[in-house]
Amino acid sequence: MSSNTATTTTTTTALVLPDIDKPLLLRQVQLNGPLQDEVLVEIQATGICHTDLSCMNGTLPISSTPAVLGHEGAGIVLSVGTHVQHVNPGDKVLLSINHCGGCVHCSSGHPNYCVEGMPRNFGGGRSSRRLDSDKVEGGSSFAHTIHLVGNDVPSSSSSTATPCFGNFFGQSSFSRLAIVNGSCAVKVPRETDLALFAPLGCGISTGVGCVLNTLDVQPRSTVAVFGAGSVGLAAVMAARLRKADVIIAVDLRETRLELAKNLGATHVICAAKEDVLARINQVTKTDEGVNYAVDCTGVPAVIETMMDCLAIRGRAAQVGIPTPDKTVPVKILQHLLKGQQYVGCAGGDCVAGEMIPYLLTQQKEGKFPLEKMVSYYDVKDHQRAFDDVKSGKVVKAVISWDSLPSCIQ
């Protein structure tokens, strides 16, 4: 069934961030919508991304709390707005970024650089322009997709419901039910394992897309990946897909480096024990360095090392996210004379509707063993999941919502 009633509300359970750097709480919330360009999705699984952690601890600022985050959602469509044509109730979907679809960047195949990207993904609610286009009466309350209700309203609030920072990446999928912008939803086959593939919506696609799209790594080339978390390991697997001759993973944790070797790295460097530049030169058997490099850490000192390891006409891409004030020096003359490049990469510069089916196929054929890095947690054990991610005990944690009541008949 389709939905065109913006004023409908639904009560569900979500993981709510009560304040910056506080533990998430499993609470009852009220959802407003869906609007004409949105879908209501029952979330089956949500990946935990480093961006979620950065917003939770204040490294990346969000405008208000309480907040419902989560942006690697996977679930089943319950209802759709009248402007949504590509998915229907009952479809399985993986969720990715929110984008307008009509600007010069979206229309040319670069939705991660949508001109409305910041308000759509980090604004905390719906824009007034979208509410006006949907002719929503009392639109101010519907600017927020999520409200805390009843006994879950903070004691300092005088109202019966308090708005939450929501609509995160157009989905806020740390919730059993989610109001999702239609642009986020990618239909997948009915046999798709939603828990396994939930991370494709952001972190995994970012690592793969950086190698395939932003850097366009070529066969027989040399690649260095700095940071062997989920994004970096995805980059390692993508370099193997591109048949690079030398794939070097650099990290501080030897357990991560062992996994990197298992996933396709030809060489590993423990930065806590080795001189990274000297080791890269030894591996490449030249003082020239590598053809391609990816930083997945966002640490300025690591980025400097990455730049120093580039060969003549080498290309480096930045996917690790630092705090907004961080900068790195560039050796301008070296950069110029060697024709080197250092570029930013948002979301792997992917079109989710193309990248997700591609990775599903690669995994099915045994060429992209995502299952080797994913660990599963019940939503009621969410604190352990976040603790394990922060400590580095697991690479990619996925929260399952199956223990909560389902709305699917």
By percentage, how much of the chain surpasses pLDDT 70?
92
Residue with tokens 């009633």: 5
Mean pLDDT, residues 95-104 taken together: 96
Q: What is the mean pLDDT of the segment spanning 326-347?
A: 95
CA 87 to each of CA 21, 187, 225: distance values in angstroms, whole numbers, following the listed order? 36, 6, 36
CATH superfamily of 204-347: NAD(P)-binding Rossmann-like Domain (3.40.50.720)
**Which band of pLDDT confidence, cut at 50, 70 and 90, is reported for residue 153?**
very low
Question: Residue 79 — very low, low, confident or very high, per pLDDT cuts 50/70/90?
Answer: very high
Task: Work out the pLDDT band at 137, boundaries 50, 70, 90.
Answer: low
pLDDT tens per residue across span 18-40 = 999 999 999 999 999 899 999 99
- Give the mean model confidence (pLDDT) for residues 58-77: 96
- Give the separation between CA 169 and CA 311, rounded to whole angstroms: 36
Q: Which two tokens stand for residue 407?
A: 């709305």
pLDDT digits (tens, 9 = 90+) for 178-210: 999 999 999 999 999 999 999 999 999 999 999
What count of residues does the chain have?
409
Range name among 8-12, 99-103, 246-250, 309-313 with the lowest pLDDT average: 8-12
Which residues, 6 or more positions from 194, have their beta carbon under 8 angstroms from its beta carbon? 44, 45, 74, 75, 92, 94, 188
* Statement: residue 341 has pLDDT above 90: yes
Query: In terms of pLDDT, which residue wins out, 4 or 357?
Result: 357
**Average pLDDT rounded to a whole number, residues 346-356:** 97
Q: Give the pLDDT of residue 128.
A: 60
> Which pLDDT score, from 0 to 100, does residue 271 have?
96
The sign of the dihedral angle between the CA atoms of 281, 286, 288, 289 is negative
Paired residues of 2 in beta bridges: 80
The three-state (H, E, C) secondary structure of the chain, written as one string: CEECCCCCEEEEEEEEECCCCCCCEEEEEEEECCCCCEEEEEEEEEECCHHHHHHHHCCCCCCCCCECCCCCEEEEEEEEECCCCCCCCCCEEEECCCCCCCCHHHHCCCHHHCCCHHHHHHCCCCCHHHHHHCCCCCHHHHCCCEEEEHHHCCCCCCCCEEECECCHHHCCCCECEEEEEHHHEEEECCCCCHHHHHHHHCHHHHHHHHHHHHCCCCCCCEEEEECCCHHHHHHHHHHHHCCCCEEEEEECCHHHHHHHHHHCCCEEEECCCCCHHHHHHHHHCCCCCEEEEEECCCCHHHHHHHHHCEEEEEEEEECCCCCCCCCCCCCHHHHHHCCCEEEECCHHHCCHHHHHHHHHHHHHCCCCCHHHCEEEEEHHHHHHHHHHHHHCCCCEEEEECCCCCCCCC
Residue 407, pLDDT score: 86
As a whole number of angstroms, the distance between CA 372 and CA 366 comes to 11
Cα gap 25→382, rounded to integer Å: 9
With tokens 């510069």, the residue in question is 349
pLDDT at 9 over 90: no
**Chain centre distance of CA 152:** 28
Question: What is the structure's pLDDT at 8?
Answer: 77
pLDDT at 358 over 90: yes
The yes-or-no verdict on residue 6 having pLDDT over 60 is no
Q: CB–CB of 79/39 below 8 Å?
A: yes
**Residue 158 pLDDT exceeds 80:** no
**What φ, ψ does residue 164 adopt, rounded to 5°?**
-105, 145
In the predicted model, is pLDDT for residue 3 greater than 60?
no
Q: Please check the confidence at residue 48 and state whether its pLDDT lies above 90.
A: yes
Between 158 and 357, where is the model more confident? Answer: 357
Distance separating alpha carbons of residues 311 and 277, to the nearest angstrom = 12
CA distance 84 to 38: 7
Which CATH fold topology does 2-201+373-400 show?
A: Quinone Oxidoreductase; Chain A, domain 1 (3.90.180)
Average pLDDT, the chain: 92
Any idea where the domains of the chain sit in the sequence? 2-201+373-400, 204-347
How far apart CA 409 and CA 273 sit, in angstroms, is 56
